[in-house]
Structure 1
Amino acid sequence: MKNIKITITALMALFLFQSCSEDKMDDINKNVNNPADIVSRLIITNVMVNSAFTVTGSDASFYGGIYSELNAGNHNQMYNAQIRRNDPTLASTYSNGWDNLYEQLRTLAIIIDKCSTGEEKGNYQTLGIAQILTAYNLAVLTDLYGDVPYTEAGKPGVIYQPKVDKQEIIYADVFKRLNEGIANLKTTTTYPSLGNQDVIYEGNSAKWIKAANGLLARYTMRLSLRKADYQGVINYVNASFADVDDELRLVNTSVPNPYARFQLDRRAISLAKSFYDTMVANGTADARTDAFFTKIEGEVVPFDNSKADIEGQDIYSISALISEQNPIYLLSYHELLFLKAEAQARLGLPEAQATMNAAITAAYTKKQVVKFTAAQAQTYIASIPTLTGNALLKKIMVEKHISFYENEGVESYNDIRRLQAMGNGDFIPMVNPKPELFPQRFAYGLSDVSTNANIKELFGDGTYVYKEKVWWAGGTR
């Protein structure tokens, strides 16, 4: 009996020891460097950086710039895009951008939940900024891809094959998010400012509100074919940036300009002859023409994009503005002023040319490493005759196109498609020898083409990218 008691006692002790050890092991197994829950202020910094570097400044800008002839592709996949060899129709071509956009939207949804109904309810500054960034990423997504999964997307383990939402519905949500963001940023909160966690505006809510109004101006203009509201564009611009210091851009010593980084690594993008010809047409008064591009043996050597020029690295002129310290623009001050000038010109307002001149000055003096002066801008502006009607509207759009060099390719591509849809395609003519293969949109990403039957059906063989315009450009999806 004594031996039985000893055995039972020993087993009980062992059981208690194991129970205690399991509790301890739960603590030991927690990875403090990878917590399951993070405060929103730490999450949103990463979204800001990715929205600028990965979403706006990288692949989408490279391809958009080539399709809008802001640049030319001279090597590897950029050359394939240039000559329309397979790449524009492949699901793999834009997969990185597609996946990154959905990653930002999923992360932003987490932040919005936290700050609206979750454990950080009442954190209105972070909530408002997250709503603005959601609108921004969502607009980039639908502008490039058209109809996309949205309302059912970002629910892993719940909805495996999300439905595809119409662009018209998605755009309504873009405007809704921006207006909600403005309202929340105006609401008093007991939570501290984001401060340095906000790598764009350092927790300045007033500047975020200006940025949201600027985006409202951009997207209102985007929908001009469907519902023109040029006075609305002007009103939004007037409520937005007052100068270059307010613009929506990322400048951070730890985040290199992606256009510069790509060029230094790949040397795959060069000067397009059609873009160079556009600048030469401005005359010698435009100081940018001689300074924008590198020279080879003393001469500017553009890639002739009116034909399938020779593929090769280091044989064509490239941007002379390249620097890893250059800003990554989400919305520039010069774009904002060009939006206002276009709206005024379309309304026939007499101040349109003066606004265009201010936009040209802003483009000249933007905060890049290679700088031009306001005096140089005034010399060029003085060479421009007084313009009216269609001639003025064309000049505004040409100058806006030039201002987007070198890496505001997403907006350049959006403008080209919008102008074509509105009957102004001759303002910035595309000279690619295969006009029938101008990509009207980006192809859906491989991750969804291979797993989502809704996307696979719409994708087909990929050639829809040449045939089907996005909704705001007059298409059905």
Structure 2
Amino acid sequence: MKNKIILSILLGISLSSCTRDNVNEDQHATYDVTSESLITYAEKELSDFLNTPNVNENNFRLTMQYWQETTYVNESNYDFTNRNVANNIWTDNYVNVLNNLNKAKELIANYQPTPSELASWPVKKQNQLAISDIMMVFTYQTLVDIHGDIPYTQSLNNAEFPLPVYDNDSDIYPKLITRLKEDISKLQTGGAFGTGDVFYNGNIGKWKKFGNSLLLKLGIALADVNPTLAQTTISDAISGGVITNVSDNCQFAYLSTSPNYSPVYENVYAKNRDDYFAGKPFVDYLNATSDARISKYFQDVNGSYIGQVIGQPGEFADFSAPGEFAYTPTTPGNIITATEVAFYLLEASARFGIAGNPSDLYTSAVTYSFLEWGFTSSDAQNYISNHPYNSTNWKKSIGEQAWVAMYSQPLISWNFYRRLDYPQLQAPSTANPNAEGKVPVRLQYPTLEATTNGTNYSNASAAIGGDKLTTKVFWDKF
């Protein structure tokens, strides 16, 4: 990247209904931009959203009961409307990511190469468009997984669709799969974005693995609702080549100084606030299973690891603080990792007999997690010997291990939880009434949608069975 992250690109900054393209009216917008700078910005915004623990944007560490708030416990009790969390999620994803990727594609399509670029430009252009679109597929899937029905076909086109309709979530997924396969097929050896691509520095081979890993993720999500499409998608992904090595992890490389350090570091340490400590259900599970990863996940309190009851405040010094990774400014932001992919392969094997032997893949998935946190294969094998794969109740075996392994990918952990129904988390007795005594399985739509896009919001709410925390997205069948 160009020495620093470009943070001044404010394209389509006004959010009303879906995304707004008011660049002609925004006196603060940066007009002299390149597609590469937009990619840099979109990648950082995507990583920031997925990895931040900021209660205004991403509360999945709290929902999955990894962490508990120390003082202000609204979000631990599933009150997400007080801070208009969904409004910020839509700004993060529709405006800061999708709209900027869309702008990048427009610039790429209209770029006039210099004479020296003419020979290489067709391949470079195709690669740039494909990579931009792969990231858009990733982001749309994220929004569907969080909310269910969302604006898709009419999104990002404010001129023609100022009040976009919501597409059926079960219709969006097959479209994303088709779109992603086409993107992957267009990737060719040659140039792309170079250092402006913080994820992979324009490495086409790594982008192919990312695309196929995303295809695998889409396929796994469909396992309970469309097993035929799920199996063909999974098989296509595996044959295309997925991420199986940590060197191919898709991560955002944060810097050591503000404003480009890790969003976890920003919210845990840099703001000089002690807002989070360990959640009791998770720490109790790690303690009960003698899991060595607890020493990386949390800090001890006089030699013990202690978590607070979910929904309850407490004194920071009495409970285990997040581990040193949260106090390290350069901790990378996870997008897709080898550990995540290994668990998808394990689930594909358990469900459909695809990808290999479930017991072997279980060993591989757990080992990837141990290695990710600086442990050895021997450490992993010792743990696995005491906690082997359970073929009788594979959902429990995979679900609980994914819960542990996806500690730094809480949105992905939430997906595993909803799909496999493990771990069996319980809502706190103090939970917001909107949760109806349950751990949320979706997030409600932005309040802004009800006021600015009321008709389409109402139609979508009715279509999914009510805009509630307890309404399941289409793939969460059981």
TM-score range, shorter chain: 0.7 to 0.9
AA partner of residue 173 (structure 1): K
Distance in 2 (CA, whole Å) between partners of 1:456 and 1:318 is 40
The Cα of 1:155 is off from its aligned counterpart by 2.5
Larger radius of gyration: 1
Alignment match, 1:63: 59
Matched, 1:325 2:330: yes
Q: Which amino acid aligns with 1:100?
A: D
1:236 partner letter: A
Does the 8 Å contact 2:280/2:307 carry over to 1?
yes
Alignment correspondent of 2:471: 468
1:337-348 to structure 2, matched below 5 A, reads 337-347=342-352
Deviation at 1:89, TM superposition (A): 4.3
Residue by residue over 1:315-344, the C-alpha shift from the partner in whole angstroms, topping out at 9 and shown as x without a partner, is 421222422222211111011011111111
Aligned with residue 177 of structure 1, among 173, 176, 179: 179
CA distance, structure 2, for counterparts of residue 62 and residue 73 of structure 1: 13
- 1:437-476 equivalences under 5 Å are 437-454=438-455, 456-457=457-458, 464-474=467-477
Are residue 280 (structure 1) and residue 283 (structure 2) matched? Answer: no
Question: 1 CA distance for matches of 2:70 and 2:461?
Answer: 28
Deviation at 1:226, TM superposition (A): 1.0
Aligned residue pairs total 422
Q: Which residue of 2 is the match for residue 27 of structure 1? A: none
Structure 1 residue identity aligned to 2:352: L
Any residues of structure 2 matched to 1:179-194 within 5 Å, and which? 179-186=181-188, 192-194=191-193
Offset, 1:118? 6.3
Structure 2 counterpart of 1:82: 76
Correspondence for 1:108: 101
Q: 1:90 to 1:165 in 2, by over 3 A?
A: farther
Partner of 1:161 in structure 2? 163
Shift in alpha-carbon separation, 1:292–1:106, aligned structure 2, 3 A: closer
Pair 1:388-2:387 in alignment: no
Structure 1, residues 201-246: CA drift from partner, whole Å, max 9, x if none?
1110110010010011111111112112347435524611131100
SS in 1 for 2:85: coil
CA displacement at 1:136 relative to structure 2: 0.7
CA shift, 1:357, in A, is 0.9
**After the TM superposition, which residues 308-323 of structure 1 pair with which residues of structure 2 at under 5 Å, given as runs?**
308-320=311-323, 321-322=325-326, 323=328
The residue aligned with 1:18 is none
Name the CA distance, whole Å, in 1 between partners of 2:312 and 2:365.
34
Which residue of structure 2 aligns with residue 226 of structure 1?
A: 225
> What is the one-letter code of the residue matched to 1:452?
N
Contact 1:115-1:124 within 8 A present in 2 as well: no
Supply the distance in 1 between the matched residues of 2:154 and 2:163 (Cα, whole angstroms): 8
Report the equivalent of 1:374. Answer: 377
- Which one-letter code corresponds to 1:177 in the other structure? R
Say if 2:305 is the partner of 1:300. yes
How many Å apart are 1:448 and its aligned residue? 2.8
Partner of 2:419: 418
Secondary structure (helix, strand or coil) at the match of 2:251 reads strand
2:46 matched to which residue of 1?
A: 51
Distance in 2, Cα, partners of 1:172 & 1:59: 32
Partners in 2 of 1:288 and 1:448 — Cα distance?
42
Which amino acid counterpart does residue 373 of structure 1 have in structure 2? T
Task: Assess if the C-alpha contact under 8 Å between 1:67 and 1:439 holds in 2.
Answer: yes
SS at match of 1:175: helix
**Counterpart for residue 33 of structure 2:** 38
Q: 1:343-376 deviations in whole A, cap 9, x for unaligned?
A: 112235772111111111111111x6xx222232
Equivalent residue number for residue 194 of structure 2 = 195
Q: Equivalent residue of 2:469, what SS?
A: helix
Compared CA separation, residues 256 and 53, structure 1 to 2 (3 A) = same
Unaligned runs of 5+ in 2: 1-25, 114-120, 430-435
The answer to whether the Cα contact below 8 Å between 1:135 and 1:173 also exists between their aligned partners in 2 is no
Query: Does the CA contact (< 8 Å) of 1:89 and 1:463 recur in 2?
Result: no
Distance 2:315 2:461 in 1: 32
- Aligned to 1:465, the other structure's residue is in SS state coil
Partners of 2:231 and 2:255 in 1: CA distance? 38
Cα drift, residue 56 of structure 1: 4.8
- Return the offset for 1:303: 0.9
**Which piece of structure 1 moves more, 440-449 or 159-168?**
440-449
Deviation of the 1:62 alpha carbon: 4.0
Q: One-letter code of the match for 2:128? A: T
Q: Which residue of structure 2 aligns with residue 430 of structure 1?
A: 425
Instruction: Provide the residue aligned with 1:3 in structure 2.
Output: none
SS in 1 for 2:74: helix
Deviation sequence 1:113-135 (CA, Å, 0-9, x none): 34346657840121111011000
1:406-425 alpha-carbon deviations (Å, 9 max, x no partner): x3111111221222xxxxx2
Q: Mark the runs of 5 or more structure 1 residues left unpaired by the alignment.
A: 1-30, 420-424
Q: Percent identity?
A: 23
Structure 1 contact 440–465 (Cα < 8 Å) conserved: no
Give the distance between the partners of 2:248 and 2:89, measured in 1 at CA.
27
Counterpart CA distance in 2 for 1:155 and 1:314 is 50
Give the one of 364, 368, 386 matched to 2:370: 364
Matched to 2:195, the amino acid is N
Distance of 1:356 and 1:231 partners within structure 2: 22
Cα deviation 1:417-443 (Å, max 9, x = unaligned): 222xxxxx2x31112235634322112
So what's the TM-score if we normalise by structure 2? Answer: 0.80
Per-residue Cα deviation, 1:118-172 (whole angstroms, up to 9, x for no partner): 6578401211110110001111111111111222222234432111111122222
Tell me which moved more, 445-454 or 408-417: 445-454
Report the equivalent of 1:270. 277
Letter in 1 for 2:304: E
Mapped partners of 2:377, 2:98: distance in 1: 39
Q: Give the conservation status (yes or no) of the 8 Å contact 2:334–2:409.
A: yes
CA distance in 2 between counterparts of 1:347 and 1:160 reads: 43
SS in 2 for 1:444: coil
